[in-house]
Structure 1
Amino acid sequence: MITSAAFTEVPLTGKTLTPEQLAFFNDNGYVLLRGFFSEQEMQAMKELRDRATARAGEAGGSFHDGPAHYDVEPLASDPTGKTMGLRKIQEAYQVEPAFREVMAQDKLLDIVEDLIGPNIYYHSSKLMCKPGNGGRRKPWHQDFAYWSGMQPNQVTVWTAVDKATTENGCMQLIPGSHKRGLIEHHQIEDLQIQEDSLADEDILVAEMDPGDTLIFSVLTLHASDPNLSPHSRLSCIIDFDSAPAPEGSQMGSSVPIRSQ
C-alpha cells in the first residue's frame, strides 16, 4: 500500500452540511444527498445529451470541441452496429453552459466548500452515458490514482440523471477506504486495484433516484458493474480540488471558481 497520500478530516462546522453529515463523511469517505437536484435540472442534462448525440451524428462520430471530447459508440441494441449513441462528454464543464449552470451552482459549491475548504478549483468533468445491454463495468479504483501528483484533498461529485440501480450498474463503494491512503493500482481491464483483495469488504451498493448526488473523497474505493438493463443510464460527474493544478498539468485549473 502506498501511504504518501492521506485524507484530511474536514471541520465539523459548515455552511450547508450538518455536523452529523460532516462526521459521517470523515468516517466513511462519502455523503449521499437524496433529491439534491430538481427534475428540471436533470431534464436539462438529458437535453444536453440529446444535443450532443445530434452533433455527433452530424460529425459522423466522435469529435472534439476545444478541450472537450464527445465520445460515441455503436449501441449494443442494434446488431448491425450502425446506430451510434453518446458514451460521454469529457470536460463538459468547459464547453457546455448547461452543464456549468447545473453542476457548478452555488448550492453545490457550498457543499464542496464544507468538505474541502473555501478555495475551490475545477478539476475535471464528464456527462456519462452507460449504454444498455452490456455497457461495460468500471473496475475498483480510487480517482486519485489518475492524478496522484496533486493534493488528495479533492472530492468527486456523482449525480444520477437517470435512476441508478443494481441492474443498470449503479455506483458501489467501500465505506472508510479513503483512510488507507493511495492503494497501488495496475493496468488490467483499466487502471484498477487487485480485486482479489476485496473478498471480505463491506460494499455499499448506491442505488439512486434522478437528482440524488453522491460526493466522495478521491481516495474512496468505488466501482460499477455492467449495465444489464435494456436502457442507458445517464450521470454527471465533476471533480473539485482545494488547490491549483501544478504547472504543466493537463488536468485541473490554476484559477479558482470560488475563493476565500
Structure 2
Amino acid sequence: MSAQAAPAPDRYPSRVGREGGFVRRTDPVCWGSDDPQPPGPLSRSQLQRFDDDGFLVVDRLIDETTIAACLAQLAEAEADPTRLASELAVTEPDSGLLRSLFAVHADDGPLGSLARDARLVSVARQILADEVYVHQSRINLKRGVGGKQFPWHSDFETWHVEDG
C-alpha cells in the first residue's frame, strides 16, 4: 500500500464560497526586485510603477505596421466562417460577429508573432526574473457600439481554477 502526499494548499484560493474578498499576495509582483537594476528593458522606475499599479503603459512599443497587420488578421478571422465555427472562437449571440479568439499565441500570423516578440517577452522575463512562455491567450473584441458587454473580471481566477 502506498501513501499519497496531500496536495499543497492553494495559496490563491478562488471560487470557494459565495462571498468575495481579498487575499493578500504571498508572492512579489516583480521578482528579483532586490537587484538595483534587474536585467531587461525596463528601468527601475518602470518596474516600480508596474509593482504599484499592476500594469505599465509603454508608448510606441509596437509600431503601426505591426498593429495594422494584427488588425488585418482579426478582420480575416471575422470573415472566415470556418474560423468563426472553431472551438477557438466565440461569437456575439445576436450578430454572429467575432467576440473572442483564443490561443492566438499559437498562430503563425502576426498575432502569434506579436505574442512571441522579444520586446514583450523580455519585459515578462524581467518582471518574473525567469524564463517565460505563454500558457493561455485570448483577444476580446469590444466594439464601440453593439455586442454584449465585458463586465469587470479577473482572468487569473478563471484560468487558475480551470487550468492550475
Q: TM-score, normalised by structure 2?
A: 0.70
Q: Name the residue aligned to 1:6.
A: 26
Q: Name the residue aligned to 2:48.
A: 23
**Which structure: greater strand fraction?**
1
Please list, as runs of the form range in 1=range in 2, the aligned pairs for 1:1-260 lying within 5 A after superposition: 1-3=21-23, 5-10=25-30, 11=33, 12-56=37-81, 59=82, 62-64=84-86, 69-73=88-92, 84-149=96-161, 250=163
| Structure 2: gaps spanning 5 or more residues | 1-20
How high is the sequence identity, in percent, across the aligned residues? 20
| More contact order relative to length (CA 8 Å, sep ≥ 6) | 1
Q: Which runs of 4+ in 1 moved over 6 A?
A: none
Say whether the 8 Å CA contact 1:52–1:70 is kept in structure 2: no
Q: CA deviation at 1:72?
A: 2.8
| Structure 1: gaps spanning 5 or more residues | 76-80, 150-248, 252-260
Q: In the TM superposition, what whole-angstrom CA distance separates every residue of 1:177-216 from its partner, at most 9, and x where no partner exists?
A: xxxxxxxxxxxxxxxxxxxxxxxxxxxxxxxxxxxxxxxx
Q: Name the residue aligned to 1:235.
A: none
**Which structure: greater helix fraction?**
2
Give the aligned CA root-mean-square deviation in angstroms: 2.6
Q: Which has the larger radius of gyration?
A: 2
Counterpart Cα distance in 2 of 1:141 and 1:74: 20
Q: TM-score, normalised by structure 1?
A: 0.47
